A and B are shown apart, each in its own frame.
Chain A
Amino acid sequence: MNELRRYYDIIFVLTQKELRTRYKNLGLGYIWSLANPLAYSAVYYFVFKFVMKVKVDCFPLFLISALFPWQWFSNSVGVAWITYLGNAPLIKKVIFPRNLLPFVVSFQDMLHFLASVPIIFLFMAIYSKPFTWWLIPGIPLLSVIQFAYTYSLGLAISSVNLFFRDLEKLVGVFMTFLFYLTPIVYSSDMVPEAYRPYTVLNPVAPLMMSWRLLFFEGRMDPGLLGLSVVYGILFLVVSHLIYRKLVWRFAEVL
């Protein structure tokens, strides 16, 4: 109990710190968390609807139903490299569970995403999509799974980045590939039949497909869901192995 209380307190002050240092102004922070994915959506909408003339019904909703979750994912992974690097003074002097740092960062990114869900609802209403019961378990469930992804990747990336400071750039390149390999600006059935089975080898694909299914068709697919859970657990295990191997050297390299 005491231990739990202590964890709670640490998470609380670290979250407070992140909020204070990342967004000097909370209101602006919130607006930013909406404006950023919306701006991307607008650009992709323009390119794919008007320039490339993709024929998809309700294209704006189609787009944001996967693009908003993707933005959460890519923001979280994209800034992960700085988590430990930016907290050098704490790590060098105080002992506390260091994995709480990426935990707090990812948790905040999740809250930002959840804050943007009403916009998706708005588009669902505009295109008269059904608000089914699936939304109630679906949003928390997929959020938790995605949190497992982002926390794990954040933990692994920020740990390894202390030793290889150029990891950040490689991650950036990798994320660009991943974006186009994941059914976000296109749907999985546009992928030629021969390649379609390979889509889900990309761990992010079943997750983004689940989000879209939930917001666009109001349902969930057990296969995709199960696959995301498996990937999530795999990420958690592997990232903790990496972290445990490196953590006691953090204070040496900083």
Chain B
Amino acid sequence: MSTVIRFDSVSKHYPRYHHLSGGIKNFLFNLPKSIRGLREDRFKALEEISFSINSGESVAFVGRNGAGKSTTLGLIAQVLKPTTGQVTVSRRVSPLLELGGGFHPDLSGIENIQLNGVLMGLSRKQVKSRMEAIIDFAELGEFIDQPIRTYSSGMLSRLGFSVIANLDPEILLIDEVLAVGDASFQEKCLKKISEFKKSGVTIVLVSHSENDILRVCDRAIWIENHRLRMDGPAGDVMTGYRDSVSHP
């Protein structure tokens, strides 16, 4: 078993960018105050998180809204950099799959698949040869030719998941997308995720559905108040988390 994701006392602090929102003029007129604001007034989204995930494991992140789950996934996807500590990811990681998707509103479903397939690591040839499979999986009917501006959030998550389902990820990152699909599509996605799991893909899932988590994941990590509260077998962690939510 080799480690594929490793967090060594990782903290992520966000500067309060509202110090910049006044624009250049305000920034320059209040220069010392602005710089002090950016330096010192920071929001601590994650504090001293350490864990490691082995190849082929499937891990759920749970916690309240704003606990720091998406931030953790962003760090794994490497679109974010930690403020202190070290994040090591030693495999090809899928793009972050979350609500809204990495999509362009004015392009049609098909055009988005072409764009995203390539940005997510496929060659143009591969995208072409998988196009049919992707469209079939999405089951969007004629909407596949419409600009995705006109999609509902469930349809967007269908499109997003279908592209991902046809990549060859080594690490799959899924952030709360399953929740907005309808029951039959959720079922289809869970099946696909299980297939990935069987073929040895490492899965990192953020979800608020205990059922989904217990079905897909062997292990869960509970983040509370931006710190790691519990890390262990999914069943145990979910029991602990459920208790804390019902008796705060």
| Residues of A participating in the B interface, judged by any CB pair closer than 8 Å | 5-6, 9-10, 12-14, 16-17, 20-21, 87, 89-96, 163-167, 170, 248, 251-253
Contacts and interface: CB of A to CB of B under 8 A. Distances in A.
B103 interface: yes
Interface residues of B, number: 35
Contact of A17 (B20, B21, B96, B111): B111
A19 to B, nearest CB: 11
A8 B106 CA distance: 23
B100 interface: yes
Given A89-B102, A93-B79, A95-B77, A16 B119 contact: no
Interface stretch (B22-30, B46-54, B199-207, B223-231): B22-30
Contacts of B24: 164, 166-167, 170
Interface string B4-35: 00000000001101001101110100000000
A166 B23 contact: yes
A100 to B, nearest CB: 10
Nearest to A14: B115
The 10 closest A-B pairs by CB, nearest first: A166-B23, A93-B102, A251-B79, A94-B95, A13-B118, A164-B24, A248-B81, A93-B96, A94-B119, A93-B95
Best-buried of A5, A16, A164 by chain B (most CB within 10 Å):
A164
B103 A89 contact: yes
Given A9-B124, A90-B119, 20 more contacts: A10-B118, A13-B119, A17-B104, A21-B107, A87-B104, A90-B102, A91-B79, A92-B79, A92-B102, A94-B96, A94-B102, A96-B119, A163-B17, A164-B24, A165-B23, A166-B25, A167-B24, A170-B24, A248-B80, A252-B14
Contact of A164 (B15, B27, B103, B116): B27
B60 to A, nearest CB: 20
Interface in B112-163: 114-116, 118-120, 123-124
